Structure 1
């Protein structure tokens, strides 16, 4: 699938939905929500840009997302109809691979939302884009991000040492999951659901 076809598929499937979340294009109306998490030092600790200081900066950031709409998703929590984060997908058609990065409002940490969002993206990449593998990485110390990757079936691939981040140096841990690995996880999960149902029927 070439770049043109990739863009068409991304545009066609610009909204992805799970039980609790909607992944959709950003809107200017998200600017205040974006500012809320992008101005938080704990949230931006391992990002290449500093915490935002003014809501106008958030509006500018959202406009940048809109300029590169395909692959940039706002994470909306259905229950409150609020943008609680973002997830960015970069596709490399020639290699049939992609990389993904994400950010989440600290108020919504430890609820499984990012695992749910990343799972949606992985499923979309393998089912619709027919990619071979997806990669993600995190800076050493950002263990929560690493746990999300592991929960989604991504496996440790290697490390890039002493990477400069805003004047500090960190190791970067690289994770990836292949299409075959993802399929295997799906089949195993489906089998476990069937097995659980069978056991319930036979014990009732």
Structure 2
């Protein structure tokens, strides 16, 4: 009688390829940069007179630290465009990128909290998101050409909401795991 051996131990090559190498690749892309995309406007002016603005918030050594810093800054409401006290920012999106500009995770800002977005699950889903976002950016370009700046900004914002899911393939699993953690909610 022959006994079939079933091994529960993964081959070393599989462990290296699945766990060690991606960890080393992510480590080479540190520190992570945190930015806020929003609408800047001067106090007392209409929101339609505002303009899109990206504000650098800081750098962190890990996705967890970056998410925590971003959430604290948004909750405190202390994201400023510059030193001009009359210039205000309505923050809309938080973006965390690696040193190669790859998207690690992003979130929409609502009522002083960051709603972190679930990353795309596959390259096929990423292509669908890119197609839809491109359509929205085209609509924004058309609206801008007609002088409908508020409508154009809204189309660009909706496109950015979709693009927030376009997490770099290297970071997708990490981002999904972070969103499963109770503190990320």
Same fold per superposition (TM over 0.5): no
TM-score w.r.t. the length of structure 2 is: 0.26
The structure whose Rg is larger is 2
